[in-house]
A = this chain, B = another copy of it.
Amino acid sequence: MKLYGYWRSSAAYRVRIALNLKQLDCEHESVHLVKDGGQQHSEAYKSLNPMELVPTLVDGDFTLNQSMAILDYLDAKYPQTPLLPNTLEDNAKAKALAFDIACDIHPLNNLRVLQYITGPLGQSDEAKVAWYHHWIDTGFKSLEKKLAVTAGTYCYGDNVSWADICLVPQVYNAERFNVDMSQYPIIQAITERCRALPAFHQAAPEQQPDAV
Report which A residues bind B (CB closer than 8 A).
50-53, 62, 64-66, 68-70, 72-73, 76-77, 88-89, 91-93, 95-96, 99-100, 102-104, 106-108, 113, 116-117, 120-121, 123, 127, 130-131, 134, 139, 142-143, 145-146
A103 to B105, CA, bound (A): 10
Instruction: Please give me the residue from chain B that is nearest to A139 by CB atom.
Output: B51
- Chain B residues, Cβ within 8 Å of A117: 121
Instruction: Please give me the residue from chain B that is nearest to A73 by CB atom.
Output: B92
| Apart from A51-B100, A68-B95, 16 more pairs, CB < 8 Å | A50-B142, A51-B146, A64-B92, A65-B100, A66-B99, A66-B100, A68-B68, A68-B99, A68-B103, A72-B92, A73-B92, A103-B106, A103-B107, A108-B113, A120-B131, A121-B121
- Contact between A50 and B146, CB atoms less than 8 A apart: yes
A53 to B106, CA, bound (A): 16
- Chain B residues, Cβ within 8 Å of A103: 66, 68, 102-103, 106-107
Quick one: copies of this chain in the complex?
Answer: 2
Report the minimum CB–CB distance from A123 to chain B (whole Å).
6
- Chain B residues, Cβ within 8 Å of A139: 51
